[in-house]
Structure 1
Amino acid sequence: ELVKEQKLTIQPVIGLKAMDDKVSNLTNQRQIVTWAFNKDSKVNDIKRFDIENGYVVVKLDAKHKKGLNLGNAKAGIRTKLLNEKKGKLIKEKMKGDNLQEIATVFNAKVQSSRAVSLGSPILPGIGRSEGIISTLIGLQENQLYKGIDAASGVIAVKITKKDSPKGLDNYNSSKTTVWNLNKSKSSKVFNALKKLVEIEDNRATFY
């Protein structure tokens, strides 16, 4: 009732893992994950956490023993097997010497994409596809490749042009970025440990 009065949003989170650092659409939330998996946290416990742009109120609805629920496992295995069977049938039907012939078999359209890279791994009709892009990087130009597995099906591709990555004059900017990321992660780990045990922060004495 209070949620409705305040016009707040309830966002269920299912399948949270002990090593996660993302909770729903909230990134860098190890504090929440650590609390949820703490042995002292009980089902139905509620706690407020301050975040970058405000705060969230978290309720622990359930705790599951390590391992996958049998019912969920069966459903997941069934879906995986069905998808594998569908993928095999599609590959068998993927006849043709060019993309247009293959598209005609499946009543589909040939789509093109430019400037695709690991930094911008977006494919039309598929979306983010880091795995596929990683595969395409190793393929040759002007050759037809059929039966490549994608998250939502099976695709055929032809690479018309590949550009070699340009080298940088120096990598100082990249080094700084990596250093800052590592520093940020170290700080998050330290803060998480402080919540678990009594630690007196004397780093300023030595830094």
Structure 2
Amino acid sequence: MNGWKQGTIKVCGVRTPEDIQACLQARVDLIGLVLVPGSKRELSLKQATVLRDLIGDQARVVGVFMNQPYSQVYETTQALDLDLVQLHGQEQGRCWEQLGRPLIRRVMPSDYRRDRRASALPLVDAGAGHGIAHPWPAARYPEAMIAGGLTVNSVAALIEALEPAAVDVSSGVESSPGCKSPQAIDEFCRNARIAFGQVRRAQRSSNQ
């Protein structure tokens, strides 16, 4: 996978079959399974396997890890047949490339230009992974996925202002902590796609 496809939408932190159904009905591109011990949205391997089987090949599946041993990440990646691996901590070393999966790595907006790893798909997270929105620098992220406090009401404006290739949401489509709202997932995806389309049209016009 060489860079993000323009207009990619990822919903992270799914926990139930109903969450999966809502994501598939909304035509979400990437579905994130949180496999971080102690996380509010943590899945056991058994729970994740059930959800992975429901998804099949209808969307790409991302396993989210944070500061876990390589051996554990490798075994889980193989067991779940993950499509992508998201490293959300301070993982170092070239061993991660041996997973044989595209790597998503989190960076802060202020570090994006200098900290981007050529082998990774950048996830620029203004909320440090806690779903809290922080002010975004006046910049554009045409090769990145953005995250951090995105909601049904904010996603369109952020896409138009930051021009990212992709967006990632978790708590922004929940009715309560850990409980996804099918309506919010649908509205988020609809608003994001409209905004991505507007950005593409504006870019084409400026290039003419």
TM-score, normalised with respect to structure 1:
0.18
Greater RCO structure (CA 8 Å; 6+ sep): 2
Q: Please identify which structure carries the higher strand content.
A: 2
